[in-house]
């Protein structure tokens, strides 16, 4: 399909947000120059077509019949008619050559403009894709950093809660001991002994769990080796 000035004027490009691009005013100015050039070429082609049509019409007109004159005058009058026909043919050939040259130049310019437009469009697409990949990569890095910060805050909160609970329990136990010692020393001794027994029982359970874990690992290794 031939490219017309109206096609250039009515062409609309998609406006892409959040990325760099070319100045829209500069692109519009450049398209205006292209439109002006195409219109000038169209006018020149139309003028040449008019000249060509006039020349063809002139050439196709019937030659008027000559009156009966003596032989010598007729031959003398035939000479300028042949010259006029030759001039008309020369003008016709010149008009055709000029028309063909203008058409070739117009086609060459049109093809060049199309190639330039395609190259610019491809370059804009590549730049947009590259910028989009860079933005997405940066957003991914930011997301990972935020997630890492959230995990650190959660760990800190959990550790802080454990430490605060241990501190409160320790303070309460200390107050209870002091109160028991003040009231009944024998109960304080019994409480301390109970805590010692609980600690020993917990240590024994931990040792048992470690033994079971170690035994299970050995069995798994033996199973894998077999």
pLDDT tens column, 180-211: 666 665 665 666 667 667 666 766 665 565 55
143, with CB counted inside 10 A (0-12, 13-18, 19+), is exposed
Mean pLDDT of 156-173: 84
In the DSSP assignment, the letter for residue 62 is P
Q: What are phi and psi of 64, to 5 degrees?
A: -65, 145
Quick: pLDDT tens for 147-162. 999 999 999 988 888 8
Return the pLDDT at 21: 63
Q: 């304080």: which residue's tokens?
A: 188
Rg (CA), the chain: 50
């Amino acid at each position: 399909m031939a490219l017309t000035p109206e096609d250039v004027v009515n062409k609309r490009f998609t406006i892409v947000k959040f990325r760099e691009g070319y100045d829209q005013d500069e692109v519009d100015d450049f398209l205006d120059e292209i439109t002006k050039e195409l219109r000038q070429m169209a006018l020149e082609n139309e003028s040449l077509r008019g000249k060509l049509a006039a020349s063809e019409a002139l050439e196709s007109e019937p030659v008027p019949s000559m009156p009966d004159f003596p032989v010598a005058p007729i031959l003398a009058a035939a000479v300028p008619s042949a010259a006029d026909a030759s001039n008309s043919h020369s003008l016709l050939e010149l008009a055709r050559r000029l028309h063909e040259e203008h058409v070739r130049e117009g086609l060459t310019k049109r093809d060049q403009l199309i190639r330039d437009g395609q190259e610019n469009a491809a370059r804009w697409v590549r730049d947009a894709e590259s910028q989009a990949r860079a933005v997405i990569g940066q957003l991914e890095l930011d997301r990972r950093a935020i997630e890492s910060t959230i995990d650190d805050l959660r760990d800190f909160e959990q550790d802080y809660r454990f430490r605060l609970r241990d501190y409160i329990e320790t303070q309460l136990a200390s107050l209870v001991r002091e109160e028991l010692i003040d009231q009944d020393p024998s109960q304080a001794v019994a409480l301390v002994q109970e805590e010692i027994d609980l600690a020993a029982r917990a240590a024994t359970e931990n040792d048992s769990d470690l033994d079971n874990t170690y035994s299970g690992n050995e069995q798994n290794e033996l199973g894998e080796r077999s």
